[in-house]
Amino acid sequence: MLRRMSTYSGQKLATVIKELENFAPITLAEKWDNVGLLIEPFKEKPIQKILLTNDLTEPVMGEALEKNVDLIISYHPPIFKPLTRITKSNWKERVVAACLANNIALYSPHTAWDKTCGGVNDWLSQAVDIKGIRPLEPELGAPPGTGSGRFIETKMVVSQLVESLQNHIRNSVHVALAVNHQPSTLIQSVGICAGSGGSLLKGIQADLIITGEMSHHELLEFNHNNTTVLLCNHSNSERGFLKEFSPKLGELLKGACEILVSQKDKDPLVTV
């Protein structure tokens, strides 16, 4: 298969990583996380085409190969637990093998993007009419606005928030009303945590919380503490940030790289 000549001059991999870490230093990531450059190609080449994805699944890997990308930025790290071998018997190993065989670099930011100012949690917060906003857990020594989760002051009724969130993530939303709430209940405080927010949001004093997923018993606990919960499904609470970040990354790289957002990336759960 012939590779088309690119109109993009490209950047060195080190330059791309530098700009990614200027936006969200990997030092912000949780200690348990596996972030940064996960696969470095053996042969150095300019990075001309970059694919953004929430999850590097096999369909997304196929898309990357079809589009001849040089770097995949996967929000969730495809390599999390140590690999003891790279074979064709496991889908994650096949993805790694495909990157290695095709000289494709792989970078993952995960919780560094969650915490950074202007990152994933700030994007998810845009579903709310914000009167005031701060991190739930501010990051020590970091710029103001940096940290885990977000706490928002607002004035919206539950039904408005549900509709606004659906429009923002462009998907359906699961609603667990607090025991004393109705769709017309006024909400003045909102807790935000993209992804799985049960542990971070536990014990928060908020009228409503927005996250991707949590357990049945966590939902009951929040509802009985008079907190309504809106669930987006895990990756639907994160994926929309990629379209917002794409032009920003293009600017950071001075237009030298083509930035694509995966069309194959999707949440595994579908409401029917």
What does the pLDDT look like over 199-212, one tens digit per residue? Answer: 999 999 999 999 99
Dihedral pair phi/psi, residue 124, rounded to 5°: -60, -35
User: Tokens 């998907």 sit at which residue?
Assistant: 171
CA 159 to chain centre: 25
Q: Is residue 6 pLDDT above 90, yes or no?
A: no
Q: Round to whole Å and give the CA distance between 46 and 84.
A: 30
pLDDT in tens, 184-233: 999 999 999 999 999 999 999 999 999 999 999 999 999 999 999 999 99
Q: Round to whole Å and give the CA distance between 52 and 167.
A: 22
pLDDT for position 7:
87
Q: Is residue 3 pLDDT above 60, yes or no?
A: no
Alpha helices in 133-172 (DSSP H): 158-169
pLDDT for position 183:
97
pLDDT for position 129:
98
pLDDT in tens, 108-157: 999 999 999 999 999 999 999 999 999 999 999 999 999 999 999 999 99
Assign 44 a pLDDT band (cuts: 50, 70, 90).
very high
Assign 1 a pLDDT band (cuts: 50, 70, 90).
very low
Q: Round to whole Å and give the CA distance between 236 and 214.
A: 14
